[in-house]
Amino acid sequence: MSEKTDRPLHKQDTVRSPDEKSMESIDISPGTVIGEYRIVSKIGKGGMGIVYKAYQESLERYVAVKVLKTNLSQMSNYLQQFQYEARSAAQLRHPNIVQIYGIGEHHDIHYFIMELVPGKTLKEIIQEKHQSPVKSGRLIPVYDALEMILQVAGGLHFAHESGFLHRDIKPANIIKDDKTQRMMIADFGLSRPVMTKKESLLGSMTGTPPFMAPEIFLGKPWTKSTDIYALGATLFNMLTARPLHESNNLKSLIHKIVNEKPPPAHGFNRDVPEEISAVIRKCTEKKPSDRYGTVDDFIKDIRLFLNEGRTHAFEFYSLKEPALKTSSEKEEENIYDPSKEKIKRRKITSLIIGASFMVAFIISSLLYQDYRNIAHGRAYCRKKLQDAKNLSRMGRTDMALSFLQDICNKFPDTPYAEDARRMMAELKAPKKEKETEGTNEPAVDSQ
C-alpha cells in the first residue's frame, strides 16, 4: 500500500451506505501495538477502513495495516466480506498486485496486513502532472500511459484468470513503486458490496462512481466486464486528467454514466491517437457484451498499437461508422469536442483573412489600373496638345486640328478637351479671315 494519503478525486466520488456516513473512524495513535504490529503513522482512508503504516517486530519490516471501521466490524455482512475478501486476495501473487500477508483481530479491532509499497498512487501522479506550471507537461505522455496501463492490465488479467474480481479499479488504487517503477494494484477485491433485499442500491454500495460501469447502477452483478470498464475509465483519466463523465451532483452523474456516451479522449488531448480513443470506447460501452471479452483482449489491442500503430477497436468502429476512415471521428454528433471546435474556428478565421486579402488585392489592382489610365491619359493629352501647337506653327493646320479633335473625342469632359476646343477655334478663325481677304482683292483690281 502506498504511503501517500488517498484523497478523493471529487467531492461526489464515493458512494457509501447511510449507516457508514455516521460511523466514526478508528483513530489509532502512533506507537499503539495491534497484535504484533506497532502503528507508525496514518497512510490513508478508504470506504471500509483506515490504512496505517506499521512495523512488524517479528520480521523486522514495515507493512500496511488496514483497520476495519468500528461500526462495520459489528455488522456481520461487512465483517464477513472483510474476512472473506482478505483471505481470498492473499492467494494472489503477481508483480503488479500488492501482496496481502494476512488478517487479524485485536480487542474487537479487525484488520488485515499487506505489503507497504513506497511510492505514489496513480491519482497523485495525475494530479501533480496537471498542476505543472508548464502547459505541455500537465498530462502523462501517451506512450508512458500505455506502458503503465499495460502493467495494471497484466495484474488484473492474472486475477481474473485466478477467479477474482477487483470491483474498484481506479487511479487511487494503483501505486507506482519508487524502487521498481512497477504499477501495482492495491485493495484487490475489498470493495465488493454486500447487498440484501432490504438495502437500496445506493445505500449499500461502496465504490467510485466515475469508474463504475452502468450496469452496477442498474442492480446488475459485478463481472469481469465491470473491471474492464473501470480499466478504460482509468486510461481516459490518465490521458486527460479528467473523469469519463462529470457532473455537480451524484444523481446527474449516474444518469450520464447509464445513458450518455462519453467524449473521445483525443477531444481533450490532441496527442491521443484516435486508435487509442477507440480502445477506451470499446472498454466503456454501455452493454457489457460490447466491451472487450477479456482483459487479455485489451492488452493485445494496446500492444498491436505499440507495434503496428493500429487497433482492432478502431478498425471495428471504422467499419461500423465509415466516416472514421476519412476524417477525425466524433463519438457522438451532439458531444462537444473542444479540439474540433478550435480547429473549426481556426479554419473559419483563415478563410475570412484569406478572403479579406483577396478583396484588398482586387481593389488595389483596380485602383492602380485606374491611376495608370489617368496618368496615361494626361500624358497623351499633353503630348497631343504640344504636337498640335508645333504643327500649327509649321503651317500644318489640318493635322493639328486632327490631333485636337482626337483629344476631344477620347477625353471629352476633361480640361484638356477644353484646351483643344479653344485651340481649334483659334486655328479656324484666321483661316476664314484670310479666305475673305483673298476674295475681295480681285474685285478692287477689276474696277
Residues taking part in catalysis:
168
The closest of 233, 227, 223 to 253, measured between CA atoms, is 233
Residue whose cell numbers read 499495460 = 150
Cell of 132: 505543472
Q: How many beta carbons lie within 10 A of that of residue 293, not counting itself?
A: 12
The sign of the dihedral angle between the CA atoms of 304, 173, 251, 79 is positive
Contact present, 316 and 277 (Cβ < 8 Å): no
Q: What is the 3-state secondary structure (H, E, C) of the chain?
A: CECCCCCCCCCCCCECCHHHHCCCCCCCCCCCEECCEEEEEEEEECCCEEEEEEEECCCCEEEEEEEECHHHHCCHHHHHHHHHHHHHHCCCCCCCECCEEEEEEECCEEEEEEECECEEEHHHHHHHHHCCCCHHHCCCCHHHHHHHHHHHHHHHHHHHHCCCCCCCCCHHHEEEECCCCCEEECCCCCCCCCCCCCCCCHHHCCECHHHCCHHHHCCCCCCHHHHHHHHHHHHHHHHHCCCCCCCCCHHHHHHHHHHCCCCCHHHCCCCCCHHHHHHHHHHCCCCHHHCCCCHHHHHHHHHHHHHHCCCHHHHHHHHHCCHHHHCCCCCCCCCCCHHHHHHHHHHHHHHHHHHHHHHHHHHHHHHHHHHHHHHHHHHHHHHHHHHHHHHHHCCCHHHHHHHHHHHHHHCCCCHHHHHHHHHHHHHHHHHHHHHHHHHHHHHHHHC
| Residue 395 CB contacts under 8 Å (≥ 6 apart), including other chains | none
**CA pair distance 297, 292, nearest whole angstrom:** 6
Cell of 105: 483481530
